[in-house]
Amino acid sequence: MKVLFHVKHAEEPRPLIDTALELGVALSSAQVRGLEAFEALLLERAVPAGMVAEADAGRLRRRHVLDCLRAASVVSSQDLDAYDLGSGAGLPGVVVAIARPDLRITLVEARRRRAAFLELAAQQLHLENVTVAAARLETLIEPVDLCFARALAPLPRAWTLAEPLLRPGGRLVYFAGTETPTLREIDGVGMKEVRNTSVLERSGPLVIMTR
């Protein structure tokens, strides 16, 4: 029996383009359509496949799309490329790729089924700046300017995985949980927090770590 999920837009009455601006991200109409198409793809494919929790089916925009969009606000014009480490269902990599088409993003996902979904998403959404690497993180060799880590590992472990992949001055953008990590855990690493606006007041901060 096929189970159908329905997006509940009542939780997000404001237009996506306006909400993104409050998060520090300016979107074109085409980018809004891209994010909406990705949201629909998550609902159609990722939720039934268990890549996104069924409980999140009615709150995909706030819980995932808007949460991931925060990472696009910390990308600078000097950043050329990035890894989304343990990309899963493309969160945050696909969202950032739509919002920042000038940034080349490699979605790194070792699990074949999830990597296949990422390939499908990149194809259907026409993301020319996205590459999918169906590989373990330890096999990556090309350095990048940014690494994104969301639901990957605790902060010290995420830094251990990301640090060898970053160019000098490169940054890890880490999605912290609601319990703020202790920033003094890692000596000799530049670290700062990016706190949320009222749009996502229940989400944890982004932690930016610089190599």
- The answer to whether the CB of 196 falls within 8 A of the CB of 70 is yes
- For the chain, what is the largest distance between any 2 Cα atoms, rounded to a whole number of angstroms? 55
pLDDT digits (tens, 9 = 90+) for 88-119: 999 999 999 999 999 999 999 999 999 999 99
Angle at CA 10, nearest 5°, toward 5 and 12?
A: 105
CATH classification for the domain delimited by 9-210, as one of 3.40.50.150, 3.30.540.10, 3.50.50.60, 3.40.50.800: 3.40.50.150
Whether 179 shows a pLDDT value over 70: the answer reads no
Give the torsion sign (CA, 109, 110, 112, 113). Answer: negative
Residue 78 has a CB neighbour count (10 Å cut-off) of 7
pLDDT at 196 over 70: no
Beta strands 130-133 and 144-149 are: unpaired
Domain ranges of the chain: 9-210
pTM over the 0.85 mark: yes
Q: For residue 22, what are the contacts with CB-CB under 8 A and spacing of at least 6? A: 197, 198, 199
For the segment 17-70, what is each residue's pLDDT rounded down to a tens digit?
A: 999 999 999 999 999 999 999 999 999 999 999 999 999 999 999 899 999 999
